[in-house]
Structure 1
Amino acid sequence: MKTLLNLVWLVLSGFWLFLGYVLAGLVMCVLIVTIPWGLAAFRIGAYALWPFGRTTVDRRDAGAGSLLGNAIWLVLAGWWLALGHILTGIALCVTVIGIPFGIANFKLVPVSLLPLGREIVPTDRPFATR
């Protein structure tokens, strides 16, 4: 079932959201200083491409650095990506079939706003950390 949901997600919104994350990641990597944020963008882009069967959990070892990093991310790319998820979610909620995918988009908004200090794990082991 996860595969079917992911395939429909890929067609309806996953691919375009993935491209947004890749673009943000490339810009961050070109700027050299922001390479850690670029890597985070690629990681979350893969999650946005194929989200069903995975979830995010807070990392216990995340400290003040992730708070500062999230503030920088929010200004540079986070709000653009969150806006993409919100607009896509609203568009998907117009149809009955798209409502579950719209809700999934809304669930990705917090991750796109504040990605650092979170880890993406399979749903069958959501409490796994490094």
Structure 2
Amino acid sequence: MRILGNIIWFFLGGWILAILAYLSGLILTILVVTAPVGLGLMEYGKFLFLPFTHDMVRKKKGSVSDAVHMTYQTYANIVKVIYIIVFGIWLFIGGIFTVIGQFITIIGIPCAIVLAKSLGTIFNPVDKVCISHDLAEELRRRVAAAKADEISGVQQSAAAESLQNCEYDVTPQKLSVVPIIGIVVVVLLVVLIGLPRLSATRDDAEISKLATNLITVKYDLDAYYISQGKFASDFSVMTNVPLEPNGANSAYLKSGKGDRCFVISVDAKKKTFTVEKGPDAENNICRGAYELPGVPKMLSEPISMKKSY
């Protein structure tokens, strides 16, 4: 199954991420000052090539080889703190949301598993190394055996004692599937509950704006007729409210979403203008506007213009 996972990961473009991670680490290592992060990212790149048969683990702080002086380890700790504050926290949070999004899409679950396994490395790549999954599992088995011996009070086995000289901290650098599922459920509930409310709030705002525009058109036409003693052939001359032409002496008043809720017509001979329901009258926004105070009266009969003086 792990081999199949690697194949799926490869065809989903995982090898591209592996190359990018490795090259980024290589560049940071060449820059020297960012080498602690760079070395970790190079190991992360190796992991991303075969993520289902490898694990990312941490080197023990006390396991400093001859090639790495204690001064470097101190400097690495400083670089680690700076990285976590500037990049690590935000990349970790972004990674969590990415994992959730990939789980929701179903098809992205293989990628989500890989990313979940490497969230610890994304948060802090310093001192992280890539080892085979089988080796990591064997070391974890020995850790479990050592803990069992300690609890039972028996003498530690030779395998458990050998862990004292092991240079790897084999604590899994991944998230449990259970918390991830919990997070996904919470996000889904928030989406299912929050989106309808958000949509309703937006619709209320659109309805209010539409009714305001209708009243504005009424007063604008009234004011224009008082000053000119007639209607203009172009509605844009009489009002600043955007209207869509609908033949001679008629225009649509639309919602912000483009729903043609009202048809406004002027009659020069009768000195009236008429407000009628538009083609999209069954739309929720249009129906909401029809129910607002004052609108039903405007829809019931033509409105006479005031006389000019």
**How does the TM-score come out when normalised to structure 1?**
0.71
Partner AA of 1:4 in structure 2: L
Deviation of 1:6 after TM superposition, in Å, equals 0.7
Check whether the contact 1:17–1:84 (CA below 8 A) recurs between aligned residues: no
Helix, strand or coil at the partner of 1:96: coil
Match status 1:2 vs 2:12? no
**How does the TM-score come out when normalised to structure 2?**
0.35
Give the whole-Å Cα distance in 2 for the aligned partners of 1:11 and 1:91. Answer: 19
Match status 1:53 vs 2:63? no
Name the counterpart of 1:111. Answer: 121
Check whether the contact 1:17–1:85 (CA below 8 A) recurs between aligned residues: no
Give the whole-Å Cα distance in 1 for the aligned partners of 2:89 and 2:23. Answer: 14
Deviation of 1:23 after TM superposition, in Å, equals 4.8
Gaps of 5+ in 1: none
Give the whole-Å Cα distance in 1 for the aligned partners of 2:81 and 2:52. Answer: 27
More helix by share: 1
Q: Residues 19-62 of structure 1, C-alpha deviation per residue, up to 9 Å, x if partnerless?
A: 44235324414533223322221111121232111123332236
Q: How many residues align?
A: 130
Mark the CA change 1:26 to 1:100 in structure 2 (over 3 Å): closer, same or farther. closer
Give the whole-Å Cα distance in 1 for the aligned partners of 2:88 and 2:23. Answer: 12
Identity within the alignment, %: 28
Mark the CA change 1:20 to 1:75 in structure 2 (over 3 Å): closer, same or farther. farther
Question: What is the correspondence of 1:48-87 to structure 2 with a 5 Å cutoff?
Answer: 48-60=48-60, 61=62, 65=74, 66-75=76-85, 78=88, 82=92, 85-86=95-96
Check whether the contact 1:13–1:88 (CA below 8 A) recurs between aligned residues: no
Mark the CA change 1:41 to 1:84 in structure 2 (over 3 Å): closer, same or farther. farther
Mark the CA change 1:67 to 1:58 in structure 2 (over 3 Å): closer, same or farther. same
Gaps of 5+ in 2: 65-72, 140-162, 168-309
Check whether the contact 1:21–1:81 (CA below 8 A) recurs between aligned residues: no
Deviation of 1:71 after TM superposition, in Å, equals 1.6
Name the counterpart of 2:170. Answer: none
